[in-house]
Amino acid sequence: MPDPSRYIAILVILLCVIQARAQNLENIGKTKPFSISGGVSSRLVFYDASGVPQRRDPFGYVLSGNVNVGIYELYLPFSFTYSNQGTSYSQPFNQFGVSPTYKWVTLHLGYQNITHSSFTLAGHQMLGAGFDLNPGKLRVGFMYGRLRRATRFIPPSDSLSLDTLLQIHPLPVAEDPVYKRTGWSAKIGYGDHSNFIDLILFKAADDPSSIADDSIKQIVRPAENAVIGINARKMLFKKLSIYFEGAISAYTRDKEFQDESSASDSVNLSKLFKPFIPINGTTYYYRALKTGLNYTHTRFSVQAEYQRIDPDYKSMGAYFFNNDIESISLTPVFYLMQNKIIATTGLIHQRDNLNNKKYATTRRTMPRLNLSINPSYRYGFDIGYQDMLTSQTSGLIELTDSTRMKTSNPGITLGGRYNIIDTLRTHTFMLMFNQFELKDKNPTTQLYSEYSAAIINFSYSFYLVKKALGLNASFTSNKLDSYNGVNESFGFALGGSKGFEGSKYTVNGSWSANFSDFGDSQSINAGLGFTPGGRFSANLNLTYLTVTYPGSQFNEFTGFVEGRYNFGKKGKP
């Protein structure tokens, strides 16, 4: 039976088009009937290397652009990218998406990255159609489309037969096979950006017919997922904001499994999700929530948050979740002496093993303190301290002093800056010092894991305003003391830029060098910019890199030519 969401999306699109035409007729003579604006850019890249295998193609190109079309109050933004670089496919990579808006109606067509909440549909790319309706305080959203396309089995170049490969390795493929996956997400809520409540239902499923090889289908099984979520925010007294996000995900790992009993003991959840996905012995339920508050005052602010995400929590509407975690954080900020001193403090505590099925429970406590002191616009100081304390307690097995992790990772930051500024020139001096280390309380791993590092950086920049001339220089020193010994390195950098004819033409160049116990490197960069007017700009950039190791050396050259042209005038900001 066809998915009814297809017809719903088509119906809404037709209604929006009809309504937009009627509104355009009413606005004839009142607003600009047609506007177009946008830009197009192209880049050509050249590359060559000696003494090392080439790390990119000798020649590449990227063509991209965006167009904004306005028809009365209907606005259609288009964008495109065409390239032969950056993908694993032999053909160029092309994606198109458009999100036209008319008053309180927004359509989403083509490739989109829609977010309904952090735990449901959360930015996963989707090829399809959808809409957002916001008449008054009503919040309605819907999206339907393909989440991923099917990928067939691609064996290695020296492949044996598939049956032989399966005997050697569970899934020895050069590209993992995946099913075609489609899904939809519906959101309904009430409120505005600072006070709202949304209910979300997300559903996605793999298409079993999108993989034809029975041998692969025995290993990779089609899955199905449904997520019910809630997202809410409330503003109190214009200073306190409280928010909450929660979701329950039902994930069936094999939708064709015949056993109708659920792998979970929750009968109520099985009844809740049974109308949306098949419930069988491979169905698991996961929970996730995040809640917190933000309070802002003229002299201080504070943010507190609690988060808990079940082990293996997943949604087909998101790429990744940091799961099996319970976290509490508190971040107060104080503004002192008319904001001349800003003190940012923070404390985060985390733990895992929420279902007590791991060998150990790991806890992390992360305090931090940062002071930004600015007595004058001419000078200022920064002082920072942070640490990460990690410890473990026994889980399924009993830990000993030699198997238990217990470490601390303290670090300090000291910085100062001084400016000399007038109408003709500016001088800026900056000095930074960073030191951090790892302390290990485990007597077995202590010798190999402990280390300390220190970094010193000094930089100076100079700029002549009327001549558009800028110069800069910097020095960096690094020291690492670890099990492998003491390693030191230092580096220099010089650079400058010059503008001509009101900065229509710019020339820039730089040189940098780094020297260490493992090898030396030097890099030279030169660039030319051309901006004759507000519509067209062009850039040329050349970089030469040479790296010397004991007994070997390699060189690389990279250059690119880039141009951009902007056209039109927007009919609406």
- Global confidence as pTM: 0.76
452 in a structural domain? no
Q: What percent of the chain has pLDDT over 90?
A: 63
Dihedral, CA of residue 344, residue 349, residue 352 and residue 354, to nearest 10: -120
Residue 223 has pLDDT above 80, yes or no: yes
Q: Are residues 163 and 309 in the same domain?
A: yes
SS3 15: helix
Q: Are residues 190 and 295 in the same domain?
A: yes
Structure tokens that stand for 184 in this block = 């939809």
Q: Are residues 79 and 165 in the same domain?
A: no
- Output the pLDDT for position 151: 80
Tens digit of each residue's pLDDT (9 = 90 or more) over 314-341: 999 999 999 999 999 999 999 999 999 9
Maximal CA-CA distance, the chain: 82
514 in a structural domain? no
- Split into its structural domains, the chain has a count of 2
Last-in-domain residue among 322, 337, 370 = 322
251 in a structural domain? yes
Q: Are residues 24 and 170 in the same domain?
A: no
Q: Are residues 238 and 289 in the same domain?
A: yes
* Domain limits for position 79: 1-50+68-111
Tens digit of each residue's pLDDT (9 = 90 or more) over 174-209: 356 789 999 999 999 999 999 999 999 999 999 999
SS3 453: strand
Residue 164 has pLDDT above 80, yes or no: no
60 in a structural domain? no
- Output the pLDDT for position 434: 97
178 in a structural domain? yes
Last-in-domain residue among 111, 135, 162 = 111
Last-in-domain residue among 322, 354, 378 = 322
Of 338 and 25, the one with more pLDDT: 338
Q: Are residues 161 and 290 in the same domain?
A: yes
Spatial neighbors of 237 by CB under 8 A, at least 6 apart, are: none
Residue 306 has pLDDT above 90, yes or no: yes
- Output the pLDDT for position 18: 34
Q: Are residues 296 and 158 in the same domain?
A: yes
Neighbours of 247 (CB within 10 A): 24
- Output the pLDDT for position 37: 87
* pLDDT, average across residues 286-309: 96
Tell me the C-alpha distance between 405 and 465, whole Å: 56
513 in a structural domain? no
Q: Are residues 104 and 159 in the same domain?
A: no
- Output the pLDDT for position 94: 54
CB 447 within 8 A of CB 439: no
The end-to-end CA distance of the chain, in Å, is: 44
306 in a structural domain? yes
Of 8 and 103, the one with more pLDDT: 103
- Output the pLDDT for position 325: 97
Residue 563 has pLDDT above 80, yes or no: yes
Q: Are residues 166 and 38 in the same domain?
A: no
Tens digit of each residue's pLDDT (9 = 90 or more) over 494-551: 999 999 887 789 999 999 999 998 899 999 999 999 988 778 899 999 999 999 988 8
CA angle 476–478–482, rounded 5-degree value:
175
